[in-house]
Amino acid sequence: MANSAQAEKRARQAEKRRQQNASQRSTFRTFVKKVVKAIESGDKAAAVEAYKSAVPQIDGATTKGIIHANKAARHKSRLNAHIKAMA
């Protein structure tokens, strides 16, 4: 429990940031799942469109510090490889 005004403010700020980060992380995961679902359905055109909309979200999560740059690159690389491997 916060014992000072400063500690109370820091607790409020931390909670606010935690909620914003959780929202950003959820959006990131949703966009990645949309690409995966399109790949699994076998529709290459839909997969490409989903990938194009997912890339800015992935990069945005990186910029905001939600995920590490290497994780973003790994996700983009793997998703793109799956799309290219489609018939």
Output the pTM of the full model.
Answer: 0.87
Residue-by-residue DSSP string for 18-79: HHHHHHHHHHHHHHHHHHHHHHHHT-HHHHHHHHHHHHHHHHHHHHTTSS-HHHHHHHHHHH
What are the tens digits of pLDDT across the range 4-24? 999 999 999 999 999 999 999
What are the tens digits of pLDDT across the range 44-57? 999 999 999 999 99
Query: Given pLDDT bands bounded at 50, 70 and 90, which one contains residue 33?
Result: very high
